[in-house]
Amino acid sequence: MKTDIDRLMVEAGLDGLVLFGGSQHNPYMAYFVGRVHLTDGLLVKLRNAEPVLFHRSMERGEAERTGFSRQVIESFDWATCLERAQGDSAKAKALRTADMLQACQLDEGRVAIYGQLDLAFSYPMMEHLRQALPGIQWVMEPEGETVLDKARVTKDQEEIDSIRRMGQVTTEVVGEIAEFLTRQRAANAILVDNDGQPITIGQVKSRIRRMLAERAAELPSGLIFSAGRDAGLPHSVGDDGQPLPIGQTIVFDIYPAQAGGGYYYDFTRTWCLGHASDEIQTVYRDVLQIYESFVSAFRVGEPSHGYQIQVCQAFEALGHPSQLSDTKTQSGYVHGLGHGLGLSVHEAPSFSLNTMGSFTLTPGMVFTFEPGLYYPDRGIGVRIEDTLVVDDDGSIHTLVDYPKDLVIPVPGS
């Protein structure tokens, strides 16, 4: 968590962290500044010191809310930098950044870099920054194992509360959608409204978006509501024009975040409208069995990758293919059992099969558990997903409960 950052910097031998960019769609920056709206910025964090935020003059009202020591970007004159760089804007940006770092007494030592930036610009900018500050050794931390990733992998109480609140919003919306669907009726194997008009996936998504907006939540990373063959492709978001089929699997995977760049929740249920065939029920039962047997099996101190191996083995024991025996399989259990979430919808801890990316389960971790089975050729996809938290006492449980019924009753089906 945030209080670990200085210790982690010591362990990594880092003297400074430099974060580039604004606060939107830039989780590392949002980790420091919170839901403050900055379109551009630079944050410098020296070891055992409070961060310094460089912000645009126009955004000083926003920047004030961070409580950090602040400096205005415009006080580092752009025209002068551009002149010194002989018109090369990437070099000018590097020179200005170097001036800002020097204003923080950061011109030597080991420094890590962060920030979601456009590669066309950030790569040449970094090349010039390297030349401008030769005393700095830029430390390239491995993806997912940076100091800030390691800090973010465990959440403090405030972060967990934010995630839980999003979970309450999420399950409330899911419940209302289930109720809405059950108030319609079946006709010719699709769902229709009381006037006999087909209900489409697009209409359901629009209803979901409106309900989230009413609750100050957004869908910055999308929304999956996919039926039939699409449900068999884990990341298919669904076809807006498609009417909802009766008796086919519908995967409803919803991962909203607090409006304005906050914490995510991630949740999936699989539904069949009206009825489910024996074939679907069998697949669903297997996923539910794996869910039930593993959701209470996570233990503090255990490596994350071990669970992925066990879940693969359990699916294979039920006769389903998995990545364990065939890394490229597109049928059966084809993805990881879950992932950490927080300011990103996918973050550490990873549950990869790869031991190198393994994490030890630790209090403060928040992660999804989402076993699933996919048979696109048979038009079947099933996933059940909840978000779990590792409590201070070491117990591991879902953040928000919600029923796991497969069939949504629909009149006329």
- Kindly identify the residues of this chain, within the stretch 23-42, that bind its own copies according to CB under 8 A: 24-25, 28, 37, 39
Contact pick of 2, 6, 107, 115 for its own copies (by CB under 8 A): 115
Q: Which is nearer to its own copies, 254 or 408 (CB)?
A: 254
Residue from 156, 161, 176, 214 that binds its own copies (CB under 8 A)? 214
CB nearer to its own copies: pick between 275 and 346: 346
Q: Which of 165, 391, 204 is nearest to 299 (CA)?
A: 391
Tell me the closest approach of the beta carbon of residue 93 to its own copies, in angstroms.
Answer: 8
Residue 253 φ then ψ, to 5°: -115, 115
**Options 16, 220, 262, 349; binder of its own copies; rule CB under 8 A:** 220
**Choice from 188, 301, 319, 356 touching its own copies (CB under 8 A):** 356
Which one, 146 or 268, has the nearer CB to its own copies? Answer: 146
Report 301-320 residues binding its own copies (CB under 8 A). none
**Identity of the residue, 59 or 386, whose beta carbon is nearer to its own copies in the bound complex:** 59
For its own copies, which residue of 15, 89, 281, 363 counts as binding (CB under 8 A)? 89
CB of 178 to its own copies, least distance (A): 19
SS3 category, 352:
coil
Q: What is the DSSP letter of 230?
A: G
**Total Cβ atoms within 10 A of residue 135:** 9
Asked whether position 378 contacts its own copies by CB under 8 A, the answer is no
Lookup: tokens for 58? 């126009």
Q: Does 293 sit near its own copies (CB under 8 A)?
A: no
The Cα 177–Cα 338 span in angstroms is 24
| CB count in 10 Å sphere of residue 43 | 25
- Residue the block writes with tokens 């839980």: 164
Smallest gap from residue 116 Cβ to its own copies (A): 5
For 84, what's the count of Cα atoms within 13 Å in the CB-facing half-sphere? 17
Rounded Cα–Cα distance for residues 235 and 368 (Å): 16
CA separation for the pair 118, 105 (Å, rounded): 27
| Residue (of 320, 296, 319, 324) closest to 309 by Cα position | 324
Length of the chain equals 413
Q: Binding to its own copies by residue 176, rule CB under 8 A? A: no
Cα(267)–Cα(208) distance, integer angstroms = 14
**CA-CA-CA-CA torsion sign (83, 88, 93, 99):** negative
29 within 8 A of 19, measured Cβ to Cβ: yes
Distance CA(294)–CA(288), nearest Å, equals 10
Of the candidate residues 3, 79, 134, 194, the single one contacting its own copies (CB under 8 A): 79
Q: Which of residues 325-344 bind its own copies (CB under 8 A)?
A: 327-328, 330, 334-335
The least distance separating its own copies from the CB of residue 82, rounded to whole angstroms, comes to: 7
**Which listed residue (69, 313, 325, 354) binds its own copies by CB under 8 A?**
354
* Window 134 to 153, contacts with its own copies (CB under 8 A): 138, 140-144, 146
Closest listed residue to residue 44, CA positions, set 115, 95, 122, 145: 115
Quote the CA–CA distance of 170 and 22 in Å, as a whole number: 27
Please name every residue paired with 303 in a beta bridge, in sequence order, or none if there are none: 360
Q: Is 103 in the site for its own copies (CB under 8 A)?
A: no
Binding flag, residue 67, its own copies (CB under 8 A):
no
Subset of 233-262 contacting its own copies (CB under 8 A): 233-237, 259-260
Instruction: Please list, in sequence order, all residues whose beta carbon lies within 8 angstroms of the beta carbon of residue 210, skipping any fewer than 6 positions away.
Output: none
Using CB under 8 A, count the residues that bind its own copies: 75
184 binds its own copies (CB under 8 A): no
61 touches its own copies by CB under 8 A: yes
- Span near its own copies by CB under 8 A; candidates 88-96, 176-184, 247-255, 292-300: 88-96
Question: To the nearest whole angstrom, how small is the minimum distance from the Cβ of residue 230 to its own copies?
Answer: 6
Q: How far is the CB of 122 from its own copies (least distance, A)?
A: 5
Query: What's 197's DSSP letter?
Result: P
102 binds its own copies (CB under 8 A): no
| Candidate residues 48, 75, 362, 395; the one interacting with its own copies per rule CB under 8 A | 75
